Amino acid sequence: MVQWVWERAAQVPGVEVVVATDDERIKAVVEGFGGRAVMTSPDCASGTDRVAEVARAFDAAHIINLQGDEPLCAPQNIAIVADLLRRGEAMATLDFPLAAEAAADPNTVKVVKDAAGYALYFSRSPIPHPRNAGAAVYRKHLGIYGYSRAALFRFVALAPTMLERAESLEQLRALENGIRIFVAEAAGDAHSVDTPEDAAWVEKLLKGAC
């Protein structure tokens, strides 16, 4: 899976791709297919802390965290996040329309935005609540984050928050501390691998079997 993610990220012009890991086996796999991997501390509390640890060794003004369970993330989606950072956004991510029947799945994170496109809230629950039948429009959050260098290091210096712990969603720490997250519509949907069934389905898809 890590090779599929790396190959998609590597298609984006002007982006240096580095795999951050605390597992020597992953590092060996990445180097085996010609990628670059950097070992991080096993004590990192989250994936974002791992990314920040690696970022300290580079002078990049912008950092994109593409999670390793997103093998279907299109290169165009990564490029959209990169463009948002270049225009000056502190944090940026993506969303995509979500069918109402899929909104109840807690593995699918939902987002609601303000009129300017900034996130109001992320949740594993269906948001907005469909009190009026047919009125709710759901947006699926994709597992990719972009940060300015300053925003990334500010974020990891903050303590985990109540909402973050309740939902198990790191991005809520940013919102609770006044860091705005711009949410743009993705060029296409992506499916994260959250369960063994997801892994089997994505593998078949990538091999052209379904």
Task: Kindly report, residue by residue over 88-140, the tens digit of the pLDDT.
Answer: 999 999 999 999 999 999 999 999 999 999 999 999 999 999 888 777 899 99
Cα angle 70, 73, 75 (rounded to 5 degrees) comes to 140
210 pLDDT more than 50: no
* pLDDT (average), residues 60-89: 90
77 pLDDT more than 80: yes
Q: Could you give the CA distance from residue 9 to residue 72 in angstroms, rounded to a whole number?
A: 10
Q: Could you give the CA distance from residue 112 to residue 186 in angstroms, rounded to a whole number?
A: 15
Which residues in 61-92 are b (16+ Cβ under 10 Å) and which e? ebbbbbbbbbbbbbbebbbbbbebbeeebbbb
Q: Enter the pTM of the model.
A: 0.87
The chain-wide mean pLDDT, for the chain, equals 89
Residues with Cβ within 8 Å of 73's Cβ and at least 6 positions away in sequence, in order, are 5, 8, 9, 66, 142, 143, 144, 190
Longest dimension (CA), the chain: 54
209 pLDDT more than 50: no
Question: Which amino acid, 156?
Answer: V
Task: Kindly report, residue by residue over 140-197, the tens digit of the pLDDT.
Answer: 999 899 999 999 999 999 999 999 999 999 999 999 999 999 999 999 887 666 566 6
- pLDDT at residue 46, rounded to an integer: 85
- pLDDT at residue 197, rounded to an integer: 65
Domains and CATH numbers, the chain: 2-206 (3.90.550.10)
φ, ψ at 197 (rounded to 5°): -65, -40
> How confident is residue 1, by pLDDT bands cut at 50, 70 and 90?
confident
Residues facing 147 on adjacent strands: 63, 91
Question: Which amino acid, 163?
Answer: L
Tell me 65's DSSP state.
Answer: E
Please state which of the ranges 19-23, 32-36, 189-193 shows the lowest mean pLDDT: 189-193
- Give the position of tokens 């972009």: 146
